[in-house]
Every structure is written in C-alpha cells, then in structure tokens.
Amino acid sequence: MGRMKLLDNVINSATNQVEGFCIVKSAQIKTNVKGSEYLDLIIADAGGEIAAKLWDYDLSVHGTFYPDTVIKVRGSVSQWKDAEQLKVDRIRKVNDSDDIDMSTLIPCAPFSPQSMYDTIFDCTEGFKNSDIKLLTQYILKSNKEKLLVFPAALKIHHAMRGGLLFHTVSMLKSAKALLSVYKEIYPSISSDLVFSGIILHDIAKLTELSVGELGLATAYSTQGQLLGHINLGVAILEQAAAELMIDDEVKTLLQHMLLSHHGTAEHGSPRPPMFPEAEIVSTVDLLDARLFSMFDILDKTSAGEFSERVWALDNRQLYRHGLE
C-alpha cells in the first residue's frame, strides 16, 4: 500500500498535526515500561496504512476499538525507525452526523450503490413475462440492504464495497449491447430470461460470503464453504418460487442459468449452458470478470511492461500497451 490520504489532511503545519476519518485494521491494549496502558493501532484508508499510538489510553474515557470499524482521529505525524507513525491526540467512533465518503477509506464501486440498484430494478420493470418479473423483483427487494454494500468476491474480481451491484450492472449493459445484435438474427431469444439470469446469477454471494459493516468480505461462510453460491442460489430460487407460486418452467429455466453460469464442471457448474440465454449469461459473466481482473492488474503495470503472472487468469502475464 502507499501513503495514507489522512496524512495529507494537515490542520497544523507547525506541529504536523492531521485529522480525518480512517479504518481500524488492528487495535491492541499494551503496557509501556512504566506500567501504563496505551492503545497500539494500525489505521488505514484507501491510500495506505500507518502505525498509531494513543499513549494516554483510558478505557473508561476512550472506549474499545475493533478492527474493520471507522473512526475519526487527530494526531501528530513523526518518524520512528524510518517509518511514519501517528501519535494520537484525539480519537472517537463515528456518529450518524458524520458525512463520510467511503471511497476515501476502502475500495468502492465507482457508482453509488443506490443508483446501481435503481438501474437493475428499472431493467426488471420492462420484463414482459409476469412470473420472471415478480420473482426477480421479489428477490431484489428482499435483499436490498445487503446488495447495497456486498462485494462480488472475497479476493478476485469486484472484491469491493458495492462490487456485486457493479458486476451485475456491467453485465446488464454488455448483454443489452449483445442482444441489440443477436435479437435481429435470433428473434426468439428471451431478453427477460437473459436479464433475470444476470441479476440473479450471483445472488447467493449474499450468503456465501462473510462481510463486515464496511462491505468487504473477510471469509467464506460455513454455508458458502460447504455448498457454494451456485447451490445456494438454486435453493433461494426454489423457496421464492414456491412462496410466489411461480410457473414451474420459469423457475427451472432460471435455476439452470444459475447452475450453468460458470460454464463447465471444472469451474464449478454442475451443468453446462443448455439453451441460448444460459450461454449468454455464462459468457458475459466470464468476460466481465476477466476484464475487471485484467484492468485491475494493468492499472498497476507501466506501459511497455508485463505484469506478474496472474493466477486468476490462468497464470497469464499481461502486457500493457501504450495505445488508447
């Protein structure tokens, strides 16, 4: 990581004092040589991280601080063993009145979560099949709170706050462009099936991943480890379809799209895509995931250079050319 953005927010140049919001990465109560307790912290934002010390720590005054929570600090920056360190003067937990731009603290999708959710929901308003529309909107509404923050993965593609919505919106835009071509050639393609399949294909990531308040995945849940999001997604559709009395064929077609969206058994799909709409969903999913991973790596690679080998991309090295 680089240098914290917090360190550029100087409020007193004479004392090198800074102030701002950051994330607690670790917090431990320790004892100095005189027997007094102090708080030993690692704090971070989207720019980087720094070691911080609150020397006059008092539990009854300052309270307890936990990893993956947002705080506001004020302190003075100094050098310690060739590295910057923050001596904390004031520290507090955030409150409802704090206007925090989370993108300055953690990796976030480039669009607001609400706008992405609205884009997806607006797409369902155009569905002609009433059962597909009812089922898709029901699942969107039932999971809105989680959808607004959840990432799409633990580490690989779209592993950011709001990443699941970002991945879904990107896929919808790609699919709409494809259908503008292929509907003229193959007019029987069901746009409703394609768009619903895209919206629902990763819905069980909300169960598969363990995600904290910040919207970043920390691990796979027990269900995620034992069952995986494909099987969990099929179960979600089964339950929702039963509650809504959805046509059995509609339910089965959508379940197949979830089962097949990874393409092959090698990549986790029990069935390959077995009708055109399922093939489109699988292909667009793979393309969007790979392009995200590629640009994520190339953004850190100089023009004219090759990247390190990327495990998520079949251990390929990527080349960053200079053409626009």
| CATH number, residue 9 | 2.40.50.140
DSSP 161: B
Does 145 lie in the same domain as 63?
Answer: no
3-state secondary structure of 71: strand
Helix (H), strand (E), coil (C) string for 11-34: EECCCCEEEEEEEEEEEEEEECCC
Position 213 scores a pLDDT of: 82
Say which residue, 205 or 4, is predicted with more confidence. 205
**Residue 148 is assigned to a structural domain of this protein:** yes
Domain match, 190 and 46 both? no
Predicted local confidence at residue 149, as pLDDT: 95
Q: State mean pLDDT over 115-127.
A: 98
Look at residue 29 and tell me whether its pLDDT is greater than 70.
yes
Amino acid at 154: L
Q: How many CB atoms lie within 10 A of CB 59?
A: 10
- What is the C-alpha separation between 226 and 213, in angstroms, rounded? 24
Q: Is residue 314 domain-resident?
A: no
In the prediction, which pLDDT does 14 show?
A: 86
Structural domain that includes position 285: 107-298
Instruction: Inform me whether the pLDDT recorded for 79 exceeds 90.
Output: no
> Average pLDDT of 303-315?
90
* Residues 127, 66 within the same domain: no
Residue 135 to residue 241: CA distance in whole angstroms? 7
Distances (CA, A) of 42 to 17, 45, 86, 138: 18, 11, 10, 42
* Structural element, H or E, at residue 272: none
- 182-229 residue pLDDT tens: 999 999 999 999 999 999 999 999 999 999 888 888 899 999 999 999
Strand partners of residue 210: 219
Task: List Cα–Cα distances, 64 to 54, 67, 105, in angstroms.
Answer: 12, 10, 21
In this structure, the answer to whether residues 115 and 89 fall within a common structural domain is no
From 65, 93, 121, the end of a domain falls on: 93
Contact indicator for 214, 228 with CB cutoff of 8 Å: no
Proportion of the chain above pLDDT 70, given as a percent: 99
In sequence order, which residues have a C-beta less than 8 Å from that of residue 120 and are 6 or more positions away?
140, 165, 168, 169, 172, 199
* Residue 309, domain member (yes or no): no
Measured in residues, the chain has a length of 324
Lowest mean pLDDT among 104-118, 261-275, 284-298: 261-275
